[in-house]
Structures are given as C-alpha cells and as structure tokens.
Amino acid sequence: MSAERLLAESAADLITWQERLLSPLIDHRLQLLCSVVVGALLGLLGGFVVLRRMSLIGDAIAHAVLPGVVIAFLLVSTGVTGLFVGALAAGVVTAVAISLVTRFSRAKEDAAIGIVFTAMFAVGVILISRLPAGTHFDLKCFLFGDPLAITETDWHSILLIAPVVVGTILLLFHPLKLLSFDPVLARTMGFNTSLLHYVLMILLSATIVAALRSVGVIMAVAMLVTPAATAYQLTNRLWLLLTVSTALGGLSAAVGMFLAFQFNNPPGPMMVLVATVVFLLAMALAPERGFLAVALRRRRIRRHILEEDVLKMLARFEEAPQRAGASLAAALTPADPRAIGRAVEDLARDGLVTRGDPEPTLTSVGRARAQEMLRAHRLWETYLAQEGAAERHLHDEAERLEHAHELAEELDRTLGRPAADPQGKTIPRPEG
C-alpha cells in the first residue's frame, strides 16, 4: 500500500469521524444556538436567583406559567407573542400571589410558594383537559422540552428576549446588586424594591417561556440554579459570578446537546447533567471552598501542629534531664508513630533537629522555635487560669491554642508579662 493512499484513507477516516460527531450539530445548528442562548440567559438570571435565595420562586414560576401558556394557546392558538403575554401574566400573578399569601397568612414563604405554584399548575392541567378536540398541547414537551422541535419562530422570540434580559441587567446592575445584598438599605434609600423584584420576575418568566422548548420547565429550573451555584463556588465578585454563570449555562447547553447526539439521549436532561457534573467538580476542586482544598489545608495544619509538638517535647526533654532517653512516640501518644517519624524527617530537612539515636536533638534554630512554643503554651495557661478555666482543663486547652502563637506577644502584654505560669514553670522570653 502506498503511503499516499494510506494518508488519503486516514484523511477520509478523519472526515467521516468529524461528520459523525459534528454533523448532527451542524444539521441542528438553529436548535443548538437557541439552547445555548437560553442556557446563558438562565445562567445570568440564576446569579440573582441564587444570591437572593429565590431558587424556589424560580421553580414556582417555571411551573406556574402553564395556565398562562394554555390560555394563550386557547385564545390565539400558536402565536408566539400570545404565549409570551400569557406566560408573563401567569409569572407576575404567581409572584404577587406568593407575596400576598406570605403577608396575609401565617404561612412562611416556602409554604406560600408550595401553595401557589401547585394551584397554578393544577389549573393549567385542567385547562389542558378542556382544550377543544383537535388541538394538541404536549404537556410532556412543556415539562421536559424538545430541542429538536425548535423552529425559526422560537429563534426569533429568543432574539427578542435576549437583548431585553441582558440590557435590563446591565442597566439596573447596581440597584439589583443592592437589592440582593441589602434589600432593607435599598428601601431606606427610596428604591422601589417590589418593582425591582417584579422586573426580575418578569425577565425570569420571559426567559422560561423561551426555554420551554429547549429544556422544558423542570430542566429550566436546573439551568437557573446549577450554573449560578457553580459560579458562586468559584468567585467572590458579583460581576464575575454573573459572567461565569452565563458562560457555564451556555456551555452546559452546548456540551449537553453534543453528548445527547453522541449517545442518543434526550438533550434537555443531558444539558442538566453536564451542568451538574461541572457543579460537582467545582464543589470538590474550587480553590478556597472546595472540599479538596479544605481537606488539604486541614492536613497541612495537622502536620504543622505535630511538628511543633515534636519540637516542644524535645525542649521539655532538655529541660528535665531525668526524662533523657524517654521516647518521643510515648510522650506524644496518641499521635501515630509513623506520622511522628515523618514530622521528624521534615524538621531535620528544615534544619530544626538533627537525627539521633534513639531520639533526635534540637539544633539551635529548633531550640529557639521550641522556646516560642513553650512560651505560647505557658502564656495561654496563665491567661486561661485568669479567665477562670478549671485547672484540669488548662493543659489541654493551652495545648490546642498554643499553635496560634502569633498571638503570644499580645497575650504577654495583656497579662503584664508574667514570669511563670500557674504551675510555676518559667515563661521563656524572646532573646534581646
């Protein structure tokens, strides 16, 4: 076989491979585009929804638009404008009804939400059963979406909604930030917080209607909450949170759709699963708050504390010659002897101890550090005794607190530089 033919064949292979992967997406680029934009919009609004702890209200509005959509369907049949007006009306009615129930009954907000949205949803389902014969309203599509059924009309409505949502958020960014962080302050400054709240609700209702076809209401709630919660895990700035959340919403939609074609799964749920996987990754790996980072930090602190305990114990051995030859492992029970071994190795590497037989000895640098520890320990014991802590708890408590030795100097000053601790042991002073 000639090299040229081999090359040509593999090139052909590559093309078929590409086609197999990408051609469904190219064939459905309109549907892909719609889903990505809708995912991004939900991500953007989701930032405010999550920060204002309104995920449940998002859920409620998503379900409660049903009667609005059905009534619009009854009155004007298929017109997209009619659907939007119906859904907006239902969304606003839901938001208002939730506030009214909260205000005029003993039910708290979560119960009010439960009451209102199930009632709205029930009305919607009954209306569907009353639709005249011959009309077809697909409840399953309403709930779970059907991106492949997206048409040019849907794209046009998204083109209408996206700039309105993004523009409103940009225009009202500061008041919305204030509303989310401190609604009471916003009111004392004369901002109409109800108006701002309903503006958000209207944007949300409109976006959910636009999202109906691509992901359906149930999945829309996931796309509203999950990318925003992911972004919240990753950043400490609001604008960055909104940017990341928007990007993640769009990205989850794209990747979800791609995977749906690959594995022949329904697209809506795939988008949600992608968003969920990203969230789980962020939960585990986020730089500060991720549980991996937290676990590593804890481990680092634990090792550091053990090293300090070794230093201090060696200093105690030096202080009391009768204890010479005592075993570190025995003195530091219940610490794991292997962990002690590792700590000694680290300390030797840092030049704080020299390995010896049977136990290591302190270098002069190590001795100075150990004295710092002893000083912190005895200062804490003195302080705790003064605060009235029972004597039998003094040692254990000081054993824990001494590792915060950056506080020792301030503690010493506050205590009036005592010479000895409650047991009469000398409190070492830093040299010079």
Partner 1 sequence: MAAEVSVRRPPRLSAAPALEVAGLTVSYRQQPVLRHVDVAVPEGQLVAVIGPNGAGKSTLLKAVLGLLPIDAGEIRVLGRPIAQARTHVAYVPQTDSADWDFPITVREVVLMGRYRALGYFGRPRAADHARVSAALETVGMTAYADRHIRQLSGGQQQRVFLARALAQEARVLLLDEPFAGVDARTEAAIFELMDRFSQAGQTLIVVNHNLQILDRFDAVLMLNRVVIAYGPPAEVVSADNLRRLYGGRMSFVDEAERALREGPADVR
**Segment interacting with partner 1 (CB under 8 A) among 3-11, 24-32, 183-191, 342-350:** 183-191
Q: Is 290 in the site for partner 1 (CB under 8 A)?
A: no
Question: What is the chain's Cα-based Rg?
Answer: 33
CA dist 402 and 213 (Å) reads: 61
CA dist 144 and 395 (Å) reads: 62
Q: Work out how close the CB of 414 gets to partner 1 at its nearest, in angstroms, rounded to a whole number.
A: 10
Q: Is 175 in the site for partner 1 (CB under 8 A)?
A: yes
Among 31, 180, 205, 230, binds partner 1 (CB under 8 A): 180
13 to 72, contacts with partner 1 by CB under 8 A? 51
Among 191, 276, 316, 326, binds partner 1 (CB under 8 A): 191
Among 3, 26, 184, 419, binds partner 1 (CB under 8 A): 184
Among 5, 136, 140, 174, binds partner 1 (CB under 8 A): 174
Q: Is 163 in the site for partner 1 (CB under 8 A)?
A: no
Give whole-number Cα distances, 420 to 54, 376, 387, 396, in Å: 57, 12, 16, 18
**Segment interacting with partner 1 (CB under 8 A) among 32-40, 177-185, 210-218, 358-366:** 177-185
Find where tokens 């990341």 sit: 244
Instruction: For partner 1, give the closer residue by CB, 234 or 328.
Output: 234
Q: Is 415 in the site for partner 1 (CB under 8 A)?
A: no
Instruction: For partner 1, give the closer residue by CB, 236 or 322.
Output: 236
Report yes or no: 25 and 260 within 8 Å, Cβ to Cβ: no
Q: Is 238 in the site for partner 1 (CB under 8 A)?
A: yes
Among 66, 95, 212, 241, binds partner 1 (CB under 8 A): 241
Instruction: For partner 1, give the closer residue by CB, 175 or 290.
Output: 175
- Residue ranges binding partner 1 (CB under 8 A): 51, 171-172, 174-175, 177-178, 180-182, 184-191, 232, 235-238, 240-241
